[in-house]
Every structure is written in C-alpha cells, then in structure tokens.
A and B are shown apart, each in its own frame.
Chain A
Amino acid sequence: MTRWLCALAAALMLLAPLRARADFHIVSPYEIDLGELEIEHNGSRSFDARPGVGGQRSYTLELGTGLTPWWHSEIEFGFNNDPSIGQPTLLTQVVSENMIQLTEPGEAVADFGFYFEYGQTTTHGSYAAANEITFGPVIAKDIGHTTHTVNLFLTRQLGPDQTSQGLDFTFAWQSRWNLWAPLSPAVEIYGNPGTLGSTPGFYQQQLIAGPVAVGRLHLHDLGLGSAGQIKYELGWLFGVTQASPAGTLRWRLELEIPF
C-alpha cells in the first residue's frame, strides 16, 4: 500500500510544472559507500544573455561515506557566485546530507530511499541567506539496461533570513541507459514549482532538461592501484520555461577509495 501511495503521489506531482534546483545532482538510493571514502565535486554554470539569469555559478566539495549498510552521509561545502548582485565566489553553505536506503536494491518492485539534509548558511549582511532543511523520497528502478531515478524533495527555510515561509517543492529525474561503464548516456530534468500553495505560473517557474554523459573509470584500469574508482557526469541542460536560463552546464567528479 505504501509503495502505491508513493507512486500516486509521484504521478500527481509529475502533472505540476517544475523549475530547477540550485543544486543539480540526482540522489541515488544505490550509493551507500560503506567502507569507502567519497570525495565529490559538483559544479554548474548558467548561460543566458539576460542579466540576473545567466552567469550564475555554483560549486560544491563533498566528503562522504556509508555509516551503516543503509545510511550514507556526506558533509558538503557549497560555493556560489552571482554576478547579478555583485556576489563573488563565496562559501555560502555547509550541508549535512543523508540518504537512508529503505529497501534492499532489487528486493522490491522499485528501490526506495529517504533523503534529508540540513544546510547551515555561512553568509551574512547583503549576501545573507536562510538555513534550510530538505527532505523527501528517492525512488529508483532498473528496467532492462536502463536505470530511472526520481527525487521528490521539500525544502523549508529556517532562521531570520527566510525568503519563503512555506515548503518549496523540488523535483529531479534521471533516466540512464547503461551502455558502457566509462560512458553511458542519460537524460535529466530538474524543476521546482516554488512554494506549495503559492506557485507562480508555469512560465515564471524554472524547468531545465537535457542530455548528460555518465561514466566511471576504475583506478585499477588506469594503473592507479587495485581499488577505487572515479565517477563523472557532464551535461547540458536547456531552459524549458522563460524564467529558466537558456542553458546550464553541469558537471560532477567523484573519487571513491576504500579505507
């Protein structure tokens, strides 16, 4: 019954228009990394001729590991640069990210996880931002040689610098064709319709989607030891709505090494 309620909720949410997350990263229920140290870098840059829409850059540096066979935890340092408000590249947030694997991969009809994070802002004055908590389900399913992953997250701002009093809904989807480990094609969608109950019209929301290359290289194959691997993602996301940047370049680089 629970899984069907999740499916129905997902279907309802899919009907809603969406806009992009600031953090372009699909959370997977498969990556627990117990016994491994994960060093990860994410980055994105938006491109658009309109001031305030293009030129925004964000980067993260993350350290993570599996705390138990079903709990993956990371500490993330988030950096942002927004030329439209004259903001240089600043450490803007320190985030505790957690993914709880609810079902053993392959055991149920789909693979379920629950994600939650707490982001502590590090900026003050004119660049001040609110602290945030984000949580929601992570759903993945292997179908043949493809893997489909959906993130459905709600974010609540905390503290005196809130710009939103409600729950902000964000959405991310990745469908990947597992063609070849070093290079597999995928399609991603990132969206955020805004605060539940007061979402703007579709074209005032952000929605970006596009192709992404996903791959992994084993350090052993590169002659760099007998264990560990490098994972990467590189994609170009097109703006679907008027409020979205015309294009967004996103990348991810991850090193996994056992300890």
Chain B
Amino acid sequence: MVTRTLVREALEAWLMATVGARRSGIERAAWRAPLLLAVLARAAARPRVRALASVSALLAAMLVGGQPARADDLPTLVFRQHRFVPDRIQVPAHVKFQLKVQNTDDSSDEFESVDLNREKLVGPGQTITVFLGPLDPGEYKFFGDFHQDTAQGVLVAK
C-alpha cells in the first residue's frame, strides 16, 4: 500500500513538474529517479529489497519535493537607514525565486525570516542572494536582525 501510494505521488509530481516548466537534465533526472525507485520497489519480490527501495524512494521524494519553476525578475530589497525599501514585496507563489538583498548602510545587518527559515548577513555595501520558494500564497514576515525595531518587512506570495 505504501509503495502504491509512493508510485502514485511520484507519478503525479513528475507529471506536474514535466508539464509545468522547462527543466534542466539534472532536474528532470531528479524528478524521475523517485518514480523509478518506486516502480522498482513495486516490482521487487523480496520484502527487504522492497523496504529498502521504498525508503529510498521516500527520501528521494523528500529531497526533490517542491522543485519548481523559477521566477528571477524581482526588485532588489534594500537596507536603507536600517529599514527595508520596499518593506512589502510581492512574489509569485508556487515557484522558486531568488531575492537580491542590498545593504546601503554603513553597518552590517542580517536578512532574517522565521517564516521563510532564512538568515544571512549583509555587509555594508554588499548585495546577497537569498534562494526562496516555492511558497504557498500568503504573507511571510522578514526583518533585519540587527535593527529589529525599524527593519521590518513582508513578502507577499500570490
């Protein structure tokens, strides 16, 4: 039953991924591998082999789960006078994207978000890239960890 569920979920995810976006060869392989593992698990006759393949497929599905299309055209988020400019930024839901964060202040700050599970230092004059998504639609708070009283923002996924 578990194997059957894995096969079904892997197949659905694979179809969604294949139809939904253009992918690199590595990404396509990453999507297909869990399916292949699950099929092998189904075909395997020995319980231990089946168990091994099922666990492998589960782990593989976990590792590649949520591999989405990408959206790269987003405004840069700027630390300016210990505030975020803009302090509200809209991003596409359900896709992976890169958020550039620039610090124009003369002291370091840290882009941090509990909602997004990210924290990264941005030195004075530096620009960093934060890899995010895919996100469910909704609002995700972020802040500057070194100036929490002023550096607050919201990322809106739509």
Contact = CB atoms under 8 A, between A and B. Distances in A.
Given A106-B131, A226-B149, A229-B145, A143 B110 contact: no
Contacts of A216: 114
Nearest to A69: B121
A30 interface: yes
Contacts of B157: none
**Chain A interface residue bracket vs B:** 35 or more
Contact of B65 (A3, A107, A143): A143
A226 B148 contact: yes
A144 B131 contact: no
Contacts of B148: 218-221, 226-227
A32 B110 CA distance: 11
Contacts of A147: 117
A36 B59 CA distance: 34
A7 B51 contact: no
Contacts, number: 96
B82 to A, nearest CB: 9
A4 B108 CA distance: 37
Nearest to B54: A11
Interface residues of B, number: 37
Given A107-B131, A220-B149, A181 B114 contact: yes
B83 to A, nearest CB: 13
A174 B79 CA distance: 34
A144 B121 CA distance: 24
A110 interface: yes
A155 to B, nearest CB: 23
A14 B129 contact: no
B139 to A, nearest CB: 13
Given A36-B110, A218-B148, A4 B60 contact: yes
Contacts of B89: none
A227 B145 contact: yes
A7 B129 CA distance: 27
B129 A104 contact: yes
Contacts of B150: 226
Given A141-B62, A143-B66, A11 B121 contact: no
B63 A110 contact: yes
Contacts of A110: 62-63
Contacts of A14: 55, 59
A3 B63 CA distance: 9
B33 interface: yes
A30 B108 contact: no
A179 to B, nearest CB: 11
Nearest to B51: A15
Contact of B121 (A8, A35, A181, A229): A35
Interface of B: 30, 33, 51-52, 55-56, 58-60, 62-67, 96, 108, 110, 114-115, 117-121, 129-133, 136, 145-150
Q: Report the 9 A-B pairs with minimum CB-CB distance, sorted nearest first.
A: A106-B131, A220-B148, A11-B56, A181-B114, A34-B121, A107-B131, A226-B149, A11-B55, A110-B63
